[in-house]
Amino acid sequence: MIGSEQEDPVSFDELGDDLYTQVDIVIDKGQEQIRIDKFLANRLSSNISRSRIQSAADAGSIIVNGKPVKSNYKIRPLDNISLLIPKPVEAYDLSPENIPLEILYEDDELLVINKQPGLVCHPGIGNHRGTLINALLYHFEQLPQGKEKFRPGMVHRLDKDTSGIMVVAKTEFALAHLSKQFFDRTTQRKYYALVWGNVTDDAGTVTGNIGRHSRERMQFEVFPDGSFGRHAVTHYKVVERFNYVTLVECKLETGRTHQIRVHMKYIGHTLFNDARYGGDKILKGTIYSKYKQFIDNCFNMLPRQALHAASLGFKHPRTGEDFYFEKELPSNFQDLLTKWRKYWNTIALTNLDDE
């Protein structure tokens, strides 16, 4: 079975944020001139290897006095260093598990998958097994390069119950390059979401810092005054309207935890059947028996938040080639939209007959 049997597990996916961190260092006046990779390996946490630092330099992620440097650069007193580095994986049980994966593309540097809903990306509290990391470890063991013992490099995440496209690094080199692309916001990501309510504008942008909810530890919220949280921007446009719900396309300018879910709720359009944020209740439409039964049937048809990562674009870390992947909505998501079309067409025809 995928995931934990615990009813409400806390996963790294739910509670984490970026998978990489930026470190800024000013070199002391008395510092001897040594290679920057050696200096950083000694200065930073023991969890960050020298090879990972060297890969970061190859990706252009070590900046000294405003310019990228190679790993053999010798530091000087008062140098201003900025380093972007992938965070190490939490030390949970990383046992390989034979969990099926839909692989859309794979080469020596990376693989692209269509993640199924219900699959947590990272081990965490309540999810020590049955995660995407466990599945990737099993897959890597079946490959010749699996013997190098490189752990899967998670560049970005999808929430447990969100389906869609993800890229995973297979080497330190790819991990550094892909992480920089996500950090620099040069990737292209498109999602489809079914949200409650009739979205007024055909297109719009939601801007607002996202941070941990002040009362609900499993939720995030928007802090519009910027007093807390991290900068987040979501662009959306309407794809199809069903009066009580709307299908929207969302493009991420940033990548915060629960970003689409939080931003859409903030503008009054909670994702359909998003139990974490109250979308598993009737938020639009009158609560009468036939309509309630219809909604219950819809919830049963897609028993999760209606969110799918439909496309992902990035540059291949080794060749620089532009890669772009698309994946259609899962069949039950498509069936849900068909059900809403039929329902709304019936309502519309009834209203015409009454005129």
The torsion region of residue 65 among left (phi > 0), alpha (psi -120 to 50) and beta comes to: left
How many residues comprise the chain? 355
Burial class of residue 116 in the structure, from the number of CB atoms within 10 Å of its CB (0-12 exposed, 13-18 middle, 19+ buried): middle
Q: How would you label 152-187 residue by residue, b for 16+ Cβ within 10 Å and e otherwise?
A: bbbbbbbbbbbbbbbbbbbbbbbbbbbbbbbbeeeb
Six-digit token pair at 203?
């297109």
DSSP per residue over 125-141, as a string?
TTBSSSSHHHHHHHHHH
Cα(96)–Cα(309) distance, rounded to whole angstroms?
A: 26
Do 203 and 176 contact (CB within 8 A), yes or no?
Answer: no
What is each CA distance from 64 to 33, 58, 80, 88, 222, in whole angstroms?
14, 14, 6, 23, 34
List Cβ neighbours of 259 (8 Å cut-off, separation of 6 or more): 210, 232, 234, 252
Active-site residue, 159 included: yes
Cα dihedral 307, 309, 310, 312, rounded to 10, equals: 160
Residue type, 260: I
Burial class of residue 352 in the structure, from the number of CB atoms within 10 Å of its CB (0-12 exposed, 13-18 middle, 19+ buried): exposed
Among candidate residues 79, 159, 161, 280, the one labeled active-site is 159
Strand pairing partners for 283?
A: none
CA-based nearest residue to 162, from 119, 211, 103: 119
Active site residues: 159
